[in-house]
Amino acid sequence: MLEETKEREEIIERVAALDVGKATLMCCVRVPDDKRPGRRLQEVQSYSTMTRSLLGLADHLRVLGVTRVVMEATSDYWKPVFYLLEAAGLETWLVNARDVKHLPGRPKTDRLDAVWLCKVAERQMLRPSFVPPPEIRRLRDLTRYRVDLIGTRTAEMQRVEKLLEDAQIKLSVVASDIFGVSGRAMMASLIAGERNPKVLAQMARSTLRKKIPQLEEAFTGHFTDHHAFLLRTMLLRIDQTSHDLATLDAKIDELIAPFARAAVERLDEIPGIGSIAARAIIAEIGLDMSRFPTAAHLASWARFAPGVRESAGKRKGRAATGHGNRYLARILGEAAVVAGKSDTFLGERYRRIARRRGSKRAIVAVGRSILTIVWHLLSDPDAHFIDLGADFYDRRLGPERRKRNHIRQLEALGYRVILERA
């Protein structure tokens, strides 16, 4: 029996496709032939990626009445082209290169790539990728640069620890954080020329003073002027990066205040999500959840939803989630681990899954739960997070189900269970 589908066969009458490179791009335009109904006219032309050439391209597309421009996500070269055509008022689509497959045996050139992309686009066989609006793009630039700065500072801290190990200074064995107040004071004295382990150990503060004998042993090494020069340089880089991070955080607060401060406060209510993580999540997915019809669509876009492989009526296990937005995945992974240590519903969910399936699957599952909560909070400005509680599973399962589970577990250990009501 034939059933009606929701899809409609529709050809985009006036469409353009761009094969973008660093210095040049190839543009293919397909429009209807007014003299011969049912036939198409095609133009393929190369353009420079300089601004004047792109402005000329935008004017040419408007003259031809092009209603949609499609391009592949090629490195970062697509960004200036996309932004300029978008500002010119053209409907611009960015598509995933994996969705544009060439037929086997088909020659591959920039010209043929542009023609193929244009033909696929005019037949509505592509879906646009998510490109956030300008204010979210600016916020994303800052939050991603913040991640890079933290990585730079962490790498420099690791170099400091390696340098101390090279000098046989075992400070990291005794102190959990060598960059705390005590550790920085000790390293400053080393740079200044102090080598006496007893004097260095007396600089310990707070609870670290309980370990003064161990500190005296740790500072018995071979720290030279060569080590002092390198240590001074490394600490200066760490301090400069910390200053840059503070400046960047202030700029992020200034940028996000007009349109997303309330959203940040509501996302901050989720276990494992702080203000920094909330700002980064908004920078990656935006505030307009109409782009994702359901929470499942958002999870699928973020690659926090396993694929399905089925053949001959049999499911062949779960397919891998794939590679999604690595910045968003990092935030959700860290949030899932933090939430797993809390006495909340998400914490209990993490621990239950980790016991049965391992910590990696638990991180993905809890990360998806967090993403679902985020979608609902951003979809409804009046919504707030309410924790179900760590005992939610116990309350929902009910006494009968728990009784069966306990009996099954005891029988698996070799016991014969006889129940008697107290």
Query: Residues 6 or more apart from 358 whose CB is under 8 A from it?
Result: none
Element (H, E) at 95: strand 92-95
pTM recorded for the entire structure: 0.82
Q: Does domain 15-122 have CATH number 3.30.420.10?
A: yes
Say how far apart CA 125 and CA 130 lie, in whole Å: 17
Cβ–Cβ under 8 Å, residues 341 and 349: no
Look at the domain 136-258 and name its fold.
Answer: Helix Hairpins (1.10.287)
pLDDT attached to residue 319:
55
Going by the DSSP 8-state scheme, the letter that residue 171 receives in this structure is H
Q: Which two tokens stand for residue 400?
A: 């009968």
Say how far apart CA 289 and CA 298 lie, in whole Å: 9
CB atoms within 10 A of CB 196: 11
pLDDT, averaged across the chain: 88
Element (H, E) at 123: none
Element (H, E) at 93: strand 92-95
pLDDT attached to residue 112:
85
Query: Measuring CA to CA, which residue among 390, 384, 351, 367 is closest to residue 277?
Result: 367
Cβ–Cβ under 8 Å, residues 305 and 298: no
Residue type, 275: S
Model confidence over 207-246: pLDDT tens digits? 899 999 999 999 998 999 999 999 999 999 999 999 999 9
Low-confidence winner among 51-55, 303-307, 328-332, 391-395 (lowest mean pLDDT): 303-307
Cβ–Cβ under 8 Å, residues 94 and 71: yes
Model confidence over 62-95: pLDDT tens digits? 999 998 999 888 788 899 999 999 998 899 999 8
Element (H, E) at 68: strand 68-72
- Give first-to-last CA distance, the chain, whole Å: 61
Domain residue spans in the chain?
15-122, 136-258, 259-308+319-379, 397-422
Cβ–Cβ under 8 Å, residues 360 and 244: no
Cβ–Cβ under 8 Å, residues 248 and 145: yes
